[in-house]
Amino acid sequence: MATKIWHVLELLEWTTGYFEKHNIPNPRLDAEVLLGHLLKKSRLQLYLHFDMPVFQEDLTVFRELIKKRIARTPISYLTNHKEFMSLDFYVDERVLIPRPETEFIVETILKAKEGPSQRLLEIGTGSGVIATALAVNKAEWEIIATDISNDALAVVEKNRVAHDCAGRITLLHGDLFEPIKALESPRFNWIVSNPPYVMTSERDTLSPEIRDYEPHIALFAGEDGLSVIRRLVAEAPNYLHPEGKLIFEIGDKQAESVKALLEEQPAYQNYRFIKDYAGKDRVVLATVE
Ligand SMILES: C[S@@+](CC[C@H](N)C(=O)[O-])C[C@H]1O[C@@H](n2cnc3c(N)ncnc32)[C@H](O)[C@@H]1O
């Protein structure tokens, strides 16, 4: 008997139905992204080629991708791509998948009126999206990016090379400010971070995509979710120039607790919160004296 020839449209429809049956969120979108990734076509190109046949060897790979998505592997780990600040980044299970709200950090820094040459430190760079997006936009800035995870630093390495920024982002490994202490000049105009801030007790409320696949070192920060932020707020003034700025992301229910942490530190002359698209305080910008 002749083997059935599948075409793009019927494959998309079949996969959408299969994802629906398995309660995968956004079933049609996921089907399109996965098939587009496999066939190296944008979603628009898929629409223009609905009647294109999909050959057996591609079907075999597609079947594996579908199985992994049913097991709730995040789409970005299956395609190894995530867009951030309109740039394409490599991601895999060694790093957190960058979130759109983190773009507020980069946009705020880019909008600030500063001198031409700034020195910036990113703590917990993960895939390197913040450091790389800044390096792409601010060629004259000196940028140092750190992470406690050597696995994450291997991913940043790929991204800084892909975006032609290898010479402009220095990577250091270690816990918070530890790797900075050895530098000849450990003071910065900017310290930026999207630290882990999820409470360990929230683990079971997370989607399987996050809970079972994203690195826990990138997500969890103790009982109250503040174990990294607390140290960041307390130690950052020691590494900032006068009028230097600390900017970092927080969880959507953490504004009051973070305000209290900032108030405890006399080194901050002012601070403000920046809201995300949902109107929640999600980024803190604090300036030292
Ligand atoms: C929420 S992820 C952010 C990754 C990336 N900057 C982004 O915005 O997508 C937090 C990152 O901080 C790193 N990290 C966690 N604890 C750390 C610590 N004590 N010192 C340095 N980096 C840390 C994790 O390995 C992870 O890459």
Q: Give one word for 128, left, alpha or beta, with left for phi > 0 and alpha for psi -120 to 50.
A: left
Q: Amino acid identity, residue 64?
A: E
For 200-225, what is each residue's pLDDT tens digit? 999 999 999 999 999 999 999 999 99
Q: Are residues 132 and 156 in the same domain?
A: yes
Q: Are residues 67 and 163 in the same domain?
A: no
Q: Give one word for 126, left, alpha or beta, with left for phi > 0 and alpha for psi -120 to 50.
A: left
For 129-180, what is each residue's pLDDT tens digit? 999 999 999 999 999 999 999 999 999 999 999 999 999 999 999 999 999 9
Residue 265 in domain: yes
| Probe target for ligand 1 pocket from 95, 150, 276, with the most ligand atoms within 8 Å of CB | 95
CA torsion 231-234-236-238 (nearest 10°) is -130
Residue ending a domain, among 71, 98, 121, is: 71
Residue 252 in domain: yes
Residue 209, domain CATH: 3.40.50.150
Cα of 125 from ligand 1 centre, angstroms: 6
- Which class for 4: exposed (0-12), middle (13-18), buried (19 or more C-beta within 10 A)? exposed
Q: Are residues 25 and 124 in the same domain?
A: no
Beta carbons within 8 Å of 68's beta carbon, 6+ residues apart: 78
Q: What is the pTM of this model?
A: 0.96
What is the distance, to the nearest Å, from the Cα of residue 219 to the centroid of all Cα atoms in its chain? Answer: 11
39 and 58 Cβ atoms separated by less than 8 Å = yes
Mean pLDDT of the chain: 96
Domain coverage including residue 117: 85-288
For 100-130, what is each residue's pLDDT tens digit? 999 999 999 999 987 778 999 999 999 999 9
18 and 66 Cβ atoms separated by less than 8 Å = yes
Nearest to 39 by CA among 4, 11, 76, 68: 11
Residues with CB under 6 A from ligand 1: 95-96, 98, 102, 123-127, 129-130, 146-149, 152, 175-176, 194-196, 217-218, 228
Residue 51, domain CATH: 1.10.8.10
pLDDT over 80 (residue 17): yes
Q: Are residues 100 and 151 in the same domain?
A: yes
Q: What SS3 class is residue 278?
A: coil
Cα of 40 from ligand 1 centre, angstroms: 31
Residue ending a domain, among 71, 98, 118, is: 71
Measure the CA–CA gap between 124 and 105, rounded to whole angstroms: 14
pLDDT over 70 (residue 1): no
Q: Amino acid identity, residue 190?
A: W
Q: Are residues 194 and 234 in the same domain?
A: yes
Tokens read off for 251: 């969880």
Measure the CA–CA gap between 49 and 249, rounded to whole angstroms: 42
Query: How many domains does the chain fold into?
Result: 2
| Probe target for ligand 1 pocket from 125, 169, 213, 254, with the most ligand atoms within 8 Å of CB | 125
Q: Are residues 41 and 121 in the same domain?
A: no
For 262-287, what is each residue's pLDDT tens digit? 999 999 999 999 999 899 999 999 99
For 24-40, what is each residue's pLDDT tens digit? 999 999 999 999 999 99
pLDDT in the model for residue 115? 75
Share of the chain above pLDDT 90, in %: 96
Q: Which atom of ligand 1 is nearest to the CA of 95?
A: 27
Nearest to 237 by CA among 192, 287, 283: 287
Q: Amino acid identity, residue 226?
A: L
Measure the CA–CA gap between 285 and 271, rounded to whole angstroms: 5
Measure the CA–CA gap between 198 and 201, rounded to whole angstroms: 8
pLDDT in the model for residue 147? 98
Measure the CA–CA gap between 152 and 106, rounded to whole angstroms: 20
Residue 195 in domain: yes
Q: Are residues 23 and 102 in the same domain?
A: no
Q: Are residues 274 and 220 in the same domain?
A: yes
271 and 285 Cβ atoms separated by less than 8 Å = yes
Q: What SS3 class is residue 145?
A: strand
Q: Are residues 97 and 122 in the same domain?
A: yes
Q: Are residues 252 and 160 in the same domain?
A: yes
Number of CB atoms found within 10 A of residue 242's CB: 10
